[in-house]
Amino acid sequence: QVQLVESGGGLVQAGGSLTLSCAASGGTFSTYSIGWFRQASPGKDSEFVAAINRRQPGVRYGDSVSGRFTISRDNAKNTVSLQMINLKPEDSGVYYCAGYYSVWGRPLQTASSAYDYWGQGTQVTVSS
């Protein structure tokens, strides 16, 4: 099974940018679809942010981040990146990287329940 570790979170002013990284170990990374979810505060439901299929270009974005966030992956380095620009205070939260074993032909999933493996999260705070 794959283990996921996020990095790159931090404090940024509104309008700024950040790039999050998700590093994977164990398993065969190229067989996993990877997604990003965020949780605005403890107890709130997580929100789908973006996902990328086992091989590009299959990607999907949440409505609130489409056009501002870009997800990409490097299967040679076992990493997935989430580039975030024009950040808004409502983008604040804990960002989680998650993955599931991808079967050929299965549509890219956006529901958190479809993801079997999760990282510990990285905090993103956008100040106004």
The 10s digit of each residue's pLDDT in 23-43 is: 999 889 999 999 999 999 988
pLDDT under 50 in the chain at which residues? none
Exposure of 63 by Cβ count < 10 A (0-12 exposed, 13-18 middle, 19+ buried)?
A: exposed
Q: What is the DSSP letter of 54?
A: S
Q: What are phi and psi of 119, to 5 degrees?
A: -85, -175
- Residues composing the chain: 128
Please tell me the predicted confidence (pLDDT) of residue 73.
94
Please tell me the predicted confidence (pLDDT) of residue 56.
63
Long-range contacts at 23-30 (CB < 8 A, ≥ 24 apart): 23/78, 23/79, 24/78, 24/79, 24/80, 24/99, 25/78, 26/1, 26/2, 27/1, 27/2, 29/2, 29/75, 29/78, 30/54, 30/55, 30/75
Please tell me the predicted confidence (pLDDT) of residue 5.
98
Residue keyed to tokens 């979170």: 9
